[in-house]
Amino acid sequence: MTRLRWSVVAVWILAVLLVSASAPCPAEAQSRPSHGAVTGIVHSQNGIPLEGVEVSLEGHDRTTTDSQGRFAFSRVSPGNYRLSVNKSGFPGGTRALTVRAGATEQIAMTLAGYAEPPAATAGRAAVPLIRHGNVFLLRATLNGRRQAIFVLDTGASITTLSTSMAQELGIPFGPGSPMMTVRTASDTIQAPLASVESIQVGGLEARDVQVLVLDLPQAGQVVGLLGNSFLSRFQVQLDAAQGLLILNQ
């Protein structure tokens, strides 16, 4: 009987120890984030950041975009939400999203309609960037008429442009074009060099920009890399914390 009682007591003590080990201590429980956040940027159809857009996160709060078209919501409870954006003179827009604890959801929204591009102030422009994974995206105007999205690549010696965009702009390339050797992740290829008459970013323009006509893998809406054949025309400062590219002539 004594041996049996000790066995029962031992099992009970082991169970208590296992439960205690699996339960988070108060400090650990408090350190786990219980809220998420939502940040984003609102552009016009022609890629101009829109200031004063009313942004509403249904069931949480509302705010307005700043001069760079950006907005942010903090301490958002996890769950499913609907984001609404409205500005006088533009059709409104909505987006469904899911907020996760400890995560920041990044949203880019475009309102149909065109806005006047801001004039560069004394040869200086602060260009809002869109973070996409580990890279920054930005909008540019090609040849004064075509809006396009590029990956910002300050380490690239030359700007690249997709085959389809080069054809759309009527840029000549192909047989007889000077070629450049490019090393990709899996191969070494030859790609033609060409020139874009005008690239504008944030109201600042560079003319006769040399580009490499090259299709990026899985590029989606991205038409190329914005490299130093454009960036070297300016003094460049990257403010990653604020999500801005500062260009000075």
Residue percentage of the chain with pLDDT more than 70: 85
Predicted local confidence at residue 52, as pLDDT: 93
pLDDT at 11 over 60: no
19 pLDDT band, cuts 50/70/90, is very low
Residue 176 contacts residue 189 (beta carbons within 8 Å): no
Tokens, residue 33: 């984030």
**3-class secondary structure, 33:** coil
- What is the full DSSP assignment across 16-73? HHHHHHHSPPHHHHHHS---EEEEEEEEETTS-B-TT-EEEETTTEEEE--TTSEEEE
C-alpha span between 230 and 204 (Å, rounded): 11
pLDDT of residue 213: 95
128 compared with 227, residue with greater pLDDT: 227
Can you give the pLDDT at residue 118?
65
* Alpha carbon distance, N-terminus to C-terminus of the chain: 92
pLDDT at 165 over 60: yes
* CB of 224 closer than 8 Å to CB of 178: no
Side-chain-side CA neighbours of 121 within 13 Å: the count stands at: 4
Query: What percentage of the chain carries pLDDT values higher than 90?
Result: 56
Q: Which helix (H) or strand (E) holds 213?
A: strand 204-213
pLDDT digits (tens, 9 = 90+) for 78-122: 999 999 999 998 999 999 999 999 999 999 899 988 787 665 666
Higher pLDDT, 121 or 212: 212
Residue type, 123: G
Report d(CA 167, CA 162) in Å as an integer: 9
pLDDT at 117 (0 to 100): 67
Helices (H), the chain: 2-22, 26-31, 163-168, 228-231
Domains in the chain, start-ordered, CATH in brackets? Answer: 36-111 (2.60.40.1120), 124-248 (2.40.70.10)
Question: Looking at residue 61, what is its pLDDT?
Answer: 94
SS3 category, 32: coil
Residue 12 has pLDDT above 60, yes or no: no
Regarding beta strands 204-213 and 188-201, do their DSSP bridges make them parallel or antiparallel, or are they unpaired? antiparallel
User: CB atoms < 10 A from the CB of 115, how many?
Assistant: 19
**Cα–Cα separations (whole angstroms), residue 44 to 57, 68, 117, 118, 243:** 20, 12, 10, 12, 18
| Span 180-205, pLDDT tens digits | 998 876 788 899 999 999 999 988 99
Helix (H/G/I), strand (E/B), else coil: 189: strand
